[in-house]
Structure 1
Amino acid sequence: MKAKQILAQQDANHDYEVTTGNAKFLNNAARVLFGSNSSILDSGKVTSVQAISGTGSIHLGALFLSKTAAFNGKKAYVGTPAWGNYVPLFNLVGLEVVTYKHYDASTGKVDFDSVLEATKKADEGSIFVLQGCCHNPSGADFSPSQWEKLAVAMKAKKLFPLFDMAYQGLGASLDEDAYGLRLFANKGFELLACQSFSKNFGLYGERVGVLHAVSEEKDVASKVYERLRCLIRWEFSSSPAYGSRLVDIVLSDDKLRQDWQTELATIQKRLADNRKALHAELVDKRKAQGNWSSILSSNGLFCFLPLNPQQCERLAAEFHIHMLQNGRINVAGLNQSNLGHVASALVKVTGSPSSPRL
C-alpha cells in the first residue's frame, strides 16, 4: 500500500518500459535472488531481463535455449509430479521433455535416488528444470546436502540447470530458499533462473518476473543480453511496468524492504504453523489412520495428502472440501475456523487404508 501511494505521487507516465526492463528494478531483483553481496552479480556474468511473471520467464528461457545452437537436439528433464505447464511450455518451442520421478509418496519426500539416476541417464548438455524451493505441487524440496550432491552429479555430466524460483521466501527465508541456485552459480554453472514476484509480493495480476542468465564469461553475457532483447522485442515488445515499479520502490527503500521481509516471514510462519496444526489435529488428537508425514516434510503452499481420487471426490461431495484428485492441498486455505472440519472429514474418508495415486 505504501509503495502504491509513493507511485501515485510520482505520477509516472504510461509509456513503454525499456524492452528488457528498468535497469534499477532488474538489479534489485537480481540481488534478492543471488544475494545482496553476490560476487557473481559484480562479475558482470549475469544477464537480467524483465519477463511476464514466472511463466513468461520460463517461456523466454526455453525459447532462448531452443534458438541456441548448443542445445540443438537436447531434451528438457522434468521431475514428476510437476507443475502442469512445464511440458507444454517446452514442447511449444520445440524441445522434447523427459520425465523422471521427483516425489516419493511413501515418505512424502524427494525420491533422490530417482533424481540422481535421471542425471546419469541424461545425455551431456541436457536441460534440467529445478524448482529452487516450495516444490509445486508436492512441497518436497531438496535438502542442502542433496543440492550439493546434485550439483556434483550435474557438473560431471555437463547438464544445464534451469531454476524455477516462483516461491522464494515462502519456504524459509529469502536466503535459505535460494540456497540451491546460489550453490550452482558459485560452482561455475552456466544456468537460467526464472524469478516471479507473484507470490512473495502478491502481485499475481501484474505479471512481474525476471529471467536471469549466468554465463561463463562477461563477453558471453553481453551476447546473451542482446539475444534476449531481440526475442522480447519480437514476441511481446516489453513487460508491464506498474508491478515492477512497485517492487522497485519497495526494494530501493531500506524501511519498505524490511517491512516486506517481515510480512513475508509472517506468511511463511503461518504456512508452517498450519502444517503443524493440521498434523497435530489428525495424528495426535484424532488418531487418524495412515501416514500423514508429508504435511510436515513439505514446504510452501502445497503438499500431497495420502488420498486416492475416490476419497477426494467424497470430500467434495459430502464435506464441501475441494482439492485436486491427487490429494494436493493449498495449506494457505487452512485456518482456525475450518481446521477441525477438515481434519474430521479426512478421518471419515480414510477409515480404511488409502491407496496414494502418486
Structure 2
Amino acid sequence: MAHSVVASHSVGKMATDKIFGANALAVKAAAQFGKDKVTNATIGALLDDNEQLVCLPTVEKVFRSVPITEIINYAPIAGLPDFLNAAMDHVFGESKPDAFTRAVATSGGSGVLHHAIWNYSEIHDTVLTTDWYWGPYKVLCEEVLRKLDTFPLFDDKMQFNLSAFENKISALLAKQNNLLIILNTPAHNPTGYTVTDAEWDGIINILKTAAKNPAKKITLVADIAYLDFSGERNTCRKFFAKFGQMPANLLFIVGFSMSKSFTMYGQRVGAMIGVTSDADVAKEFEDVNQYSSRATWSNINRGAMRTMAMICADKALYAQVEQERAGFYQLIKGRADLFAQEAAAANLTMLPYNAGYFLSVPSTVPDAVVAKLNEENVFAVALAKGIRIAVCAVPTEKIKGMAGKLKKAMDAVK
C-alpha cells in the first residue's frame, strides 16, 4: 500500500486535464507527421492563420513601454486603483448598472471564481452552473470543499432552459441558505452560446423571486471571459444594466479577465466586480475579497495592470486596441461560419453558436469519437456530453473539411 502524508481532504487529488492532454497528443502528432498535416482544435488561445499565438499589437507596444520598476514592483493587494477603474469602465461601457459597483484585482478569471466560491458559499454547499461548462469549475469547487451541480443549458427549443434553472434553484435553496451560481456568457465556453436579453430578464426574475426569502443569500457570477469576442461592443454589454436595483440579498459578481480581452493570458490579471444595491454589501465585498487575495496570491501582476490602465486612459490607444481586436473577432467568426456551413452540408448537429472561441457538437460517446478523429490527425477535446472545437486556434484553411471528418468519426463509432 502506498504511503500518504496529506490531510484527508487532499487524498487522491491529481491535476489531470483533458484539454492539456488532448493538446499533448496534437503536439506529438505534429512532431511525427509535420505541423501542416495536423489540425489542433484543442487550444483555448487565439492563433492567427499561421498558427502563431496572437498578441494585439498595441497591447504589446504599451506593455513593452512600461518602466521596469513598474513591472517588477509589488502591487497593492486590492489592485492598482487606475486598473480597477479601467476594468469597470471597460466592462460596463454604456451599460453601467444603477448600483454600487466595486472591483478587486484577481489572478485572472480563475481568481474571480476562487474568491466567489470561497466567500459566497458555505463549506459543503453546492454551487450551480450549466451542464455544458468549463471543466475547472468543478476543480475550483472541490478544492475548497464545495460540490458542483448542473442544470441543462438548453431546452427542447435550444434556448436557455429557464424552467430547469428555476427548478434547480428551488431544490438547492430548500437545502442551503447560500447559493452561488456561475453563468458563462456571452460567447459561452464550450458552446459559443450567448444568453439573450429576454433570457436575462427571465433569469433575473427567477433570482428576485428566490430572494424574496430574506434568509437566502444568492450570488450570480457572470463569467465574461469572452465578452470582447462576442459581438458589437455596446450590444453585447447591454445586459449589465439589468443588474441594477436588486434586493440586498442578491449580489452579482462580474468576472473580468485580461487573458482574452487583451491577449495577456499568462500574465494572470483579472478583476472581480461586485454589483449590489446595498452599501454595506459593497464594502463587505471589497473587504472579504481583498482578505482572500492576501491569503492566496498576495498581490498580482503590476506591469499588466499598468498596461491596461495606460491603454484605457488614452482614447487613441484604446480605439486602436478595439480595432485590432475586432479584426480578430471577424477572423474567428469566419472560421466558425465556415465550420457551421460544412456541418449543415454534412448533417452534423451543432449546438447553438453565437460567438466566441469555441463551438461544440453533442455526442453520447465523445471519447470514442475523438479517438477516431485523432486517426485523421484532427485533435479536439472530449467533454462529458460532446466534442469541443477551438475555432480560435484553427487556421481557416484547416477548418475546411473538419466538419465532414467529425461526422465521419461519429458515424464510425455509432
Residue matched to 1:241 = 302
Whether the 8 Å contact between 1:19 and 1:233 is mirrored in structure 2 is yes
Q: Which of 198, 211, 224 in structure 2 is aligned with 1:165?
A: 224
Cα offset, 1:192, TM superposition? 1.7
Q: Which of 252, 271, 285 in structure 2 is aligned with 1:224?
A: 285
Q: State the one-letter code of the partner of 2:335.
A: N
- 1:1-358 alignment runs, 5 A limit: 1-6=57-62, 8-13=64-69, 14-36=72-94, 38=96, 40=98, 45-66=100-121, 74-103=125-154, 109-123=159-173, 125-158=178-211, 159-185=218-244, 187=246, 189-283=250-344, 287-292=345-350, 294=351, 297-307=353-363, 308-309=365-366, 310-317=368-375, 319-325=376-382, 326-351=386-411
Cα offset, 1:94, TM superposition? 3.0
Change in Cα spacing, 1:135 to 1:91, as seen in structure 2 (3 Å) is same
Q: State the one-letter code of the partner of 2:361.
A: L
Change in Cα spacing, 1:303 to 1:219, as seen in structure 2 (3 Å) is same
- CA deviation profile, 1:276-314 (whole Å, cap 9, x unmatched): 21222343xxx413434x3x6343111112454333221
Cα offset, 1:116, TM superposition? 3.0
Q: TM-score, normalised by structure 1?
A: 0.85
Hey, what's the Cα distance between the residues in 1 that align with 2:238 and 2:143?
Answer: 30
Cα offset, 1:166, TM superposition? 0.9
Q: State the one-letter code of the partner of 2:129.
A: V
Percent identical among aligned pairs is 19
Whether the 8 Å contact between 1:109 and 1:298 is mirrored in structure 2 is no
Hey, what's the Cα distance between the residues in 2 that align with 1:276 and 1:4?
Answer: 29
Cα offset, 1:54, TM superposition? 0.4
SS in 2 for 1:54: helix
Cα offset, 1:194, TM superposition? 1.4
Hey, what's the Cα distance between the residues in 1 that align with 2:340 and 2:299?
Answer: 45
Whether the 8 Å contact between 2:95 and 2:238 is mirrored in structure 1 is no
Hey, what's the Cα distance between the residues in 1 that align with 2:74 and 2:138?
Answer: 32
Hey, what's the Cα distance between the residues in 2 that align with 1:59 and 1:336?
Answer: 35
Flag structure 2 segments of 5+ consecutive residues without an equivalent: 1-56, 212-217
Flag structure 1 segments of 5+ consecutive residues without an equivalent: none
Whether the 8 Å contact between 1:103 and 1:140 is mirrored in structure 2 is no
Aligned-pair Cα RMSD in Å: 2.6
Q: State the one-letter code of the partner of 1:299.
A: A
SS in 2 for 1:212: strand
SS in 1 for 2:260: coil
Whether the 8 Å contact between 1:194 and 1:210 is mirrored in structure 2 is yes
Cα offset, 1:21, TM superposition? 0.6
Hey, what's the Cα distance between the residues in 1 that align with 2:189 and 2:127?
Answer: 18
Cα offset, 1:51, TM superposition? 0.6
Q: State the one-letter code of the partner of 1:262.
A: Q
Whether the 8 Å contact between 1:163 and 1:181 is mirrored in structure 2 is no
Whether the 8 Å contact between 1:109 and 1:297 is mirrored in structure 2 is no
Change in Cα spacing, 1:228 to 1:291, as seen in structure 2 (3 Å) is closer
Count of residue pairs brought into register by the alignment = 340
SS in 2 for 1:127: strand
Hey, what's the Cα distance between the residues in 1 that align with 2:144 and 2:403?
Answer: 44
Whether the 8 Å contact between 1:53 and 1:198 is mirrored in structure 2 is yes
Hey, what's the Cα distance between the residues in 2 that align with 1:84 and 1:216?
Answer: 32
